[in-house]
Amino acid sequence: MTYYRYHFSFGQGLTPAVKNLMIATGVVFLVQQILRTISIDVYIYYFLSYFALDPEKVWNQYYIWQLFTYIFLHGDFFHILFNLFSLWMFGGELESYWGRRRFLFYFFFCGIGAGIFTVLLSPYPVIGASGAIYGILLAFGWLFPNRPIYIYFLFPIPAKYMVIIFGLIEFFSSGSAGGGVAHLTHLGGLVFGLFFMAYPAIRQKLRREYYKRKWSQRGPGGGYYH
């Protein structure tokens, strides 16, 4: 568990997109608990079968919507608590920095991207917003690299190092499905988040190289060699 000294109070930090994501996730979790109470068979063989991310169903039955719906499902109270707490703690500042639309695009880009990563590399079904949350952690460390994060409320560490530590943990754990933790999905969120954050700089560099090459090919009098 991580914590950092947020410069807003709780009410001010609950930005509109973050609030709506938290409400939607909470409502879906409530539906999960109701269905589980009414009939565990209906919950597992119908609800989870259609809305959890199952790579086999995506490949063989084209359940493409699962790449979106799995984000809102959670396994237990502590699973949803950690994700919603992290969403509030880091997502609010990202939304304030980017604006609502860009923040939501990034959230689902990382969440769906983490799902694609999972479908390509793992046979195991997954649920949860953790892939999107790990993308949010990466963006926070990228934009606010020296912001102190308090590990277990005690030890301050700059956000950039926290992201590196989390990334290494997920990378070296990605070959294991033990403990019910979707390490590959977490890693996928980090990978897609890194691509999103680095893409503008990569595009600018490629554009400079293109025009540099184009200029070097110009012949005398401004013409081009053939």
The structure tokens listed for 144 are 């606010």
Task: Give the per-residue pLDDT at 96.
Answer: 95
pLDDT in tens, 98-119: 999 999 999 999 999 999 999 9
Between 86-95, 132-141, 168-177, 211-220, the lowest mean confidence (pLDDT) is in 211-220
| Max avg pLDDT among 10-14, 142-146, 166-170 | 142-146
Looking at residue 109, which CATH number applies to its domain? 1.20.1540.10
Task: Give the per-residue pLDDT at 180.
Answer: 61
Domain hosting residue 82, numbered range? 2-222
- Known catalytic residues are 130, 186
The structure tokens listed for 52 are 């959890």
Distance, CA of 3 to CA of 101 (rounded, Å) = 26
Task: Give the per-residue pLDDT at 199.
Answer: 92
| Residues 6+ positions from 34 with CB-CB distance below 8 Å | none
For 203, half-sphere exposure in the C-beta direction (CA atoms, 13 angstrom radius) is: 6
The structure tokens listed for 151 are 């590990």
Domain count, the chain: 1
| Residues 6+ positions from 4 with CB-CB distance below 8 Å | 89, 147, 148, 149, 150, 159
Single out the residue of 112, 165, 127, 156 nearest to residue 32, CA to CA: 127
How far from 71 is each of 12, 147, 191, 220, CA to CA, in Å?
A: 25, 27, 17, 58
Answer yes or no: are the C-beta atoms of 87 and 18 closer than 8 Å: yes
Answer yes or no: are the C-beta atoms of 151 and 2 closer than 8 Å: yes
Amino acid (1-letter code) at residue 29: F
Distance, CA of 148 to CA of 158 (rounded, Å) = 5
Answer yes or no: are the C-beta atoms of 139 and 163 closer than 8 Å: no
pLDDT in tens, 40-56: 999 999 999 999 999 99
Single out the residue of 141, 152, 123 nearest to residue 189, CA to CA: 141
The structure tokens listed for 31 are 């539906």
